[in-house]
Structure 1
């Protein structure tokens, strides 16, 4: 396990994104894709536990964290193109992709649209879609009216509502600070893009071996896992008993172990 180093990459279109990196040049490249209004720091604990044989990269997507905030480009397809553009900049021809929550939806688009760039796919607490979820419709009713500066209480409630409860106060505060960095228009445009996007066409083209990880108490996306199993060839599911959403935040050691085992298979 090496030290996590933070660098910055400028994509072909001029958008600058920070990214965390850990591991040596000889390690298997693994690109982590964070969820809605998050940043690379949501992977900080996971990155710190990666074994030396994996080389981890975790970029903050455009508009999120300390990345540049262009006026447009906040659909899942745009984010997917940015992930591939990031790989180009840092010199990765092919990588394993790990997406969490709505970052799993973006990762499905990458794996289906750019299959030659993805060696293996890990989807953690990932939906099959978001537009069919009543809870997200309610979320949109609130977020569509957001204005800058964002209300810290609202963002705190959002983080607590979408992340596991068993987190320290200091950790929650760090996550809140990261989510506050995204301006109101990014909150709105990104969520609208996620709600409107139909990932079925991309998902049908996924060829990479795929591991699904989900908590059996994750009411948000638990039922989606069967749909993903049926839609993605060679997909398998690892269900965490007694766990809810975003298990990488509360069970990082187990998640790292499962990812490492999966990526080590021939």
Structure 2
């Protein structure tokens, strides 16, 4: 079932989302940060999921083809905007599936408004640890947004370089479908590409580590939860998901030969397991 592109007015901003599936429970898919959008991270998952569920996949505020206002893009803001998005499209309660930054947003919403979350899936999720991937270097880079702008400017000039850059989030960039690389290359051409992520990083990265850490509150999550993490993830360490699952007595799928982008690296298997969990 092919997804349709729609737009919603959310807190005065225009947000693009993909809608698929006519029956079953609602599922909300939340993508990651840096350069991302709903169709980019979830394009291999939406169709099989829509056979069993009503799927809603928004471009987060500041990403994809949603509005990109000059605001502070903290995790807390994303949580509030996503809840307002649910109101705008008429969802009272849904299962949340969040990847990376989107995983932190899903966790935050499950803690803020537990009555609105049926089931929770956190994929290579933010919010489960404080340690920075490259220590003080990550903090220094978070305070030098010009370097990120220069990196994106370089990617705009070269599809080959754009593809190579994906080696930071997948185990094998050559295994990605060409249309996925093409879409990343299209998104980096956008005038505000990377701005929301730079703002998020400035608010979320402190000198002593990541500022949002839900570990001490995981016991407050009421929804049945499933953690997924690629064993070769270089963005957030797989041990984050494993220890969170242990703390919550939840399931954790550590995916071999996969990095940070499991829904794109293993879309068929991920979709099958996701549907089993939601059922």
Tell me, yes or no, whether TM beats 0.5. yes
Within 5 Å, give how 1:80-229 maps onto structure 2.
Answer: 80-129=79-128, 131-135=130-134, 138-139=137-138, 141=141, 144-145=145-146, 146-147=148-149, 150-153=152-155, 156=162, 158-165=165-172, 166-181=175-190, 182-195=192-205, 196-200=210-214, 203-219=218-234, 220-229=236-245
Check the 8 A contact 2:19/2:57 in 1, yes or no: yes
Residue 25 of structure 2 aligns with which residue?
28
Matched, 1:239 2:257: no
SS in structure 1 at match of 2:55: strand
Residue 262 of structure 1 aligns with which residue?
277
Distance 1:108 1:179 in 2: 28
Residue 15 of structure 2 aligns with which residue?
17
More divergent stretch after superposition (87-96 vs 140-149): 140-149
The alignment of Structure 1 onto Structure 2 pairs a total of residues equal to 260
The Cα shift of 1:172 comes to 1.2
Measured on the aligned residues, the alpha-carbon RMSD in Å equals: 2.5
The Cα shift of 1:263 comes to 0.8
Deviation string for 1:167-222 (max 9, x for gaps)? 13332121232244344532310222332532326544211110111223334421
Residue 263 of structure 2 aligns with which residue?
248
Instruction: Could you tell me which runs of 5 or more consecutive residues in structure 1 were left unpaired when the two chains were aligned.
Output: none
Check the 8 A contact 1:75/1:190 in 2, yes or no: yes
More divergent stretch after superposition (145-154 vs 186-195): 145-154
Check the 8 A contact 1:229/1:235 in 2, yes or no: yes
Within 5 Å, give how 1:64-75 maps onto structure 2.
Answer: 64-75=63-74
Instruction: Could you tell me which runs of 5 or more consecutive residues in structure 2 were left unpaired when the two chains were aligned.
Output: none
More divergent stretch after superposition (133-142 vs 163-172): 133-142
Large movers: runs of 4+ above 6 Å: none
More divergent stretch after superposition (244-253 vs 176-185): 176-185
Matched, 1:3 2:12: no
Check the 8 A contact 2:21/2:51 in 1, yes or no: yes
Instruction: Tell me the TM-score normalized by structure 1.
Output: 0.87
Distance 2:262 2:114 in 1: 26
More divergent stretch after superposition (121-130 vs 98-107): 121-130
The Cα shift of 1:164 comes to 4.3
